[in-house]
Structure 1
Amino acid sequence: MASPAADDYLKTVYAHTEWQDAPITPSVLAAKLGIAPSSVTEMVKKLAASGLVSHVPYGAVRLTDAGAERALAIVRRHRLIETWLVREFDYAWDEVHDEAEVLEHTISDRLLEGIDARLGRPRFDPHGDAIPDAAGEVVREPFVLLADAPLGHQGRVLRVADTDAELLRALEALGLAVSSLVRVTAGGIELDGAPTALPDGAAEIVWLSVASQ
């Protein structure tokens, strides 16, 4: 069942467990997609019938091997396009998500390969999310959510979630970016050695390396 809608479901299921372990439920899937729960239930049934997800009533939705392969392909498209927009067209990191949502369903495989080659086969997008390679392989190092990091923990910023454009802009104004060095303090963080107070919600969308490098 090749369709943009099906791809969006698979991509969302994949992304939900990429940086944490709790599986996604139909109600959470509905909230993330902004779709009525009844519509999600119907689509999940179709995806299950197509062998792309496994699901039991009221239980979690999980990708099958075929579903994971499909999800990784569309995630690769999305993240390469985001990287392309930032590097080649000077988009800010808070501006690329919606553009990529449209373009990921329209560009050809040939153009995608050209973008990947032109960018030098990047491994991460502007937010620090891993870009799967053409074979679907993903490289990611150990991480901890900033909100869960103990006092004194020091690490590089590995990823900043792109779910809140306003919060992304606020973090950018503070100078926080992927690869910034952060130390967790009682008052917030030290960012590249400077004491910094974080805006509300920031600790829930920033991931750090387990050890500074």
Structure 2
Amino acid sequence: MESEVTNGPGLRDERITNLLVFGFLQNCSNCNFHEELEALGQDMPMRAYLQEDCDDELQTDGNRASLSCMERIEADSESQEVIQNIARCLAQLGDQMEHSVHPRLVNHLALQFMNVNLSEEDRRQCLAAALQQVMQTFPKDMEKEKTTLMLTMLLAKKVADHTPSLLRDVFRTTVNFINQDLLTYVMNLARDVRTSAVSRLAFR
């Protein structure tokens, strides 16, 4: 049973993915979903997660946990800053590339997300199919994983821009997609950025 649990993304990994997608959407220009994004942000405060973790530790281990908890908050805060920088750079790249995403494809994907009969897995497959179409039109000189990550979040932005009420649904599906298919790349990217200067990010 333990091996099954460790195969999927951990709780902290999911929070990192949430922060990455949220940060990307927050940094995109010309968006029509500011109110919806603000409401979403109210429901996923990252520091509240960290404080809940600390409270749980203090209840079980007493004051001995306080020092390690503070150290972990500092480490997590650094990780959040790294993820936010990655999100910002990818959003800038997305702004440059979004004209290449055909409006008809966005409209079709939005209609699919409006279908209440679709399961979450169905929506993930719809996102994957749209991503595959968009990938064919993009230059091949970019790193494939980076392109895939950026375009996945760009499609989420385009759908939310098309129909702001779909923001929560497309956000959840995008996070699930990244956790299933791109989580290792995201973690490796965060590790590499953490050990180098932000100015060395090759997102141009």
Q: Same fold (TM over 0.5)?
A: no
The alignment's TM-score, normalised by the length of structure 2, stands at 0.27
Greater strand fraction, Structure 1 or Structure 2: 1
**Higher normalized helix content (fraction of residues):** 2
